[in-house]
Amino acid sequence: MTVRYQQAFVPTIAFGLMLAVAPAALAQGTNQPASAQTQQGQAEALPRFEIETRVVDMGVILDSEPAKATVTFRNAGNAVLTVPQPSTTCGCTAATLQKNEFQPGESYEVEVSFDPRGRHAGKHEQTLTFRTNDRNNPVVAVKVTAFVKPVVSIEPQQVNLGTVAKRTRKETLISLTGMMPDFEVYHITLVGEGAKYFDVEILGTETITQGGSQSGRTDLLVSLQEGAPPGRAQAMAVIRTNDSRRKLVTVPLGGEIIGDVSVNPPRMSLGTLVVGQNVDDVIEIRHGRNEPFRITGVEWRPLQPSGQKPTPMTYVAEAIDTQGGNQPATAFRVKLTMPDFEQAGRIRGNIVLLTDVPLEEQVMLPYVGRVVDPRTGQ
């Protein structure tokens, strides 16, 4: 009898405990959805950057003036959108925002400009980058494309005559084509250190058909004169046209004149020297066509440190190749003694070999080195 009473009492207690625990569990379950709703509300209070296009195509544009287009973005979120000034991959492309904060639902038009002046003909592609406080779109890239068509096309765009033997005239043709049927070149000015060694002549202008329309083409003859000295000759041809959109066109001119006199080594590396140390070195100077010549002097012309004046150098020239008898030499071994260097630092400049060879009265031998002072540690 007692045993059965205990068996019946235990389930009753357990059922009572379940009833006591159930309200707490229900209360806890009710709190979870409320917390989730709070978190969801915070997540929704965010800005959202939306842009209408990721590609801005400006089409075919002339290289005479900048082209412009607009791109629109919108804050599709429910919090303030922050957009700093966008960046570009080239200075030829620009976009400026008048403000940097945008309210929910607000749209904004950005003016994008591309400056083709000085750019080559053909397709161009740049990138405009927006950085935002949108977590899902912190960086948005927009491509800006354009096909540049020159008002005046030049072929070739620069003249490189390559290597030219001394006392040799070398010529080449360049053509300028304008979009106007009556286009023409009417004047040319040469500027630059080597301008006196070039000639540019207007050969004439003709009307041609390009892409179904008429254009004017002027041919020019560019010449490097026979009297150009050995070394690099460079100049700029400033060409005037009758097209108001491109009144001036510039074409670089260049050529390398090869002389008869060669120096071995072609440049000197003095390495590391000590303050107060003079330098002795030996070079060879030779006439490429085995013609006799003389060395009339040697000068030291420092470029660094600056402020030092050119001075004569001590040298001894020994003939190493003669034509026999008392004939002048066609090659020399020259022992050079450079002056003492009085201060630490980098040194560079030219050793100038003076000769009696026409157009090669001054043959440059560049040098570089470094001077240290053990007393100061410099």
Q: Find the domain containing 191 and state its range.
A: 152-258
Residue 13 lies in a domain: no
pTM of the complete model: 0.67
> Do 271 and 361 share a domain, yes or no?
yes
DSSP H or E segment with residue 198: strand 198-210
Task: In whole angstroms, give the CA distance from residue 340 to residue 301.
Answer: 14
User: Where residue 16 falls among pLDDT bands split at 50, 70, 90?
Assistant: very low
Phi, psi dihedrals of residue 193, rounded to the nearest 5°:
-60, -35
CA angle 48, 101, 87 (to 5 degrees): 85
**Tens of pLDDT along 88-123?**
988 888 888 999 999 999 999 999 999 998 888 899
* 285/211 same-domain check: no
Structure tokens at 377: 């540690």
My answer on whether 129 and 156 are in the same domain is no
Q: Looking at the 3D structure of the chain, how many domains does it have? A: 3
Query: What are 40-90's pLDDT values in tens digits?
Result: 545 568 999 999 999 999 999 999 889 999 999 999 999 999 999 999 988
Q: Tens of pLDDT along 147-181?
A: 999 999 999 999 999 999 999 999 999 999 999 99
Q: How many CB atoms lie within 10 A of CB 215?
A: 19
Confidence band of 17 (pLDDT split at 50, 70, 90): very low
* CATH number, domain with residue 270: 2.60.40.10
Q: Of the candidates 149, 174, 200, which is a domain's last residue?
A: 149
Q: Are 371 and 341 in contact (CB under 8 A)?
A: yes
